[in-house]
Amino acid sequence: MPDATRATHADPAVERLWTGATVITFVRTIASFALCLVGLWHEELTWLVVGLGVYWVGDMADGAYARLRDCETRIGGVIDMLCDRLNCAAFYLCFAALEHEMILPVAVYLFEFLVIDFFLSLAFLAWPIRSPNYFYEVDERIYRWNWSKPAKAVNSSLFAVLLLVTGWWWLGLAIAIGLVVLKCVSLRWLLQLGLPVPARVVQPAG
């Protein structure tokens, strides 16, 4: 197997729960979640913004650490996705509780991110790659629109930044609807591609 392929493919021998990257993931998740709850309790948006920043910085840090220290695992990838969605839901639900006019765009965005995008992200498990970051080995088009750096920035950062900076709920709603459409198209591409099913292993009798 070529070195480049070895770097992107999963290795069952190194799969484990605790790595430096997963420790970073758990720490940033707890810290961001707590800050959002503090912001809701005190009804202060500043705490929520700090919590969002901790989530974003921690999310970049755990991925960078995993690649730098070569401890990128499928277990870590799934945990990262779950924690991303906890932090995301905590921020946006608290944000909508403080800014009621944002309830509709936040609801549409959370449906997109917590349901459609989560299914798309978990699909990498059907192939022997380490994470969605290497989905270009399966389908370059789906990767480009979902997990390339520009796609990640639009899906995770642009929506929050525009809501916070402009305060325009209608703009947030338009972006959220656009993301739903994009994710549904990506889902169609994925279903056309098909999800491999592992071969059934028949145990010998006796």
The pLDDT tens digits for 185-200 are 999 999 999 999 887 7
Residues 6+ apart with CB under 8 A from 20: 65, 66, 69, 71
In whole angstroms, give the CA distance from residue 181 to residue 126: 24
Category of 70 on φ-ψ map: left (φ > 0), alpha (ψ -120 to 50) or beta:
left
- For the chain, the average pLDDT equals 93
- pLDDT of 5: 52
Say if 149 falls within a structural domain: yes
pLDDT digits (tens, 9 = 90+) for 106-159: 999 999 999 999 999 999 999 999 999 999 999 999 999 999 999 998 888 889
Q: Which residue has the higher pLDDT, 118 or 12?
A: 118
In a domain, 158, yes or no: yes
Residue pair 54/25 in contact (Cβ under 8 Å)? The answer is no
Residue 77 has a pLDDT of: 96
* Residue 161 located in a structural domain: yes
For residues 45 and 143, what is the distance between their CA atoms, to the nearest angstrom? 34
* In a domain? residue 37: yes
Res. 1: pLDDT tops 60: no
CATH number at residue 30: 1.20.120.1760
Question: Could you read off the pLDDT of 20-69 as tens digits, one per residue?
Answer: 999 999 999 999 999 999 999 999 999 999 999 999 999 999 999 999 99
Range of the structural domain that residue 144 is part of: 3-193
Say if CB 141 and CB 108 are below 8 A apart.
no
In this structure, which amino acid lies at residue 48?
A: L
Structural domain includes residue 200: no
The pTM of the full predicted model, rounded to 2 decimals, is 0.92
Condensed to tens digits (0 to 9), the pLDDT of residues 69-108 reads: 999 999 999 999 999 999 999 999 999 999 999 999 999 9
Provide the pLDDT confidence category of residue 2 given band limits of 50, 70 and 90. Answer: very low
Residue 206 scores a pLDDT above 60: no
Q: Is residue 33 part of a domain?
A: yes
Cα 99 to Cα 92: distance, rounded to the nearest angstrom: 10
Predicted local distance difference test score (pLDDT) of residue 6: 56
Asked if the structure places residue 201 within a domain, the reply is: no
Residue 58 lies in a domain: yes
The pLDDT of residue 190 is: 97
Q: How many structural domains compose the chain?
A: 1
Place of tokens 């913004």: 49
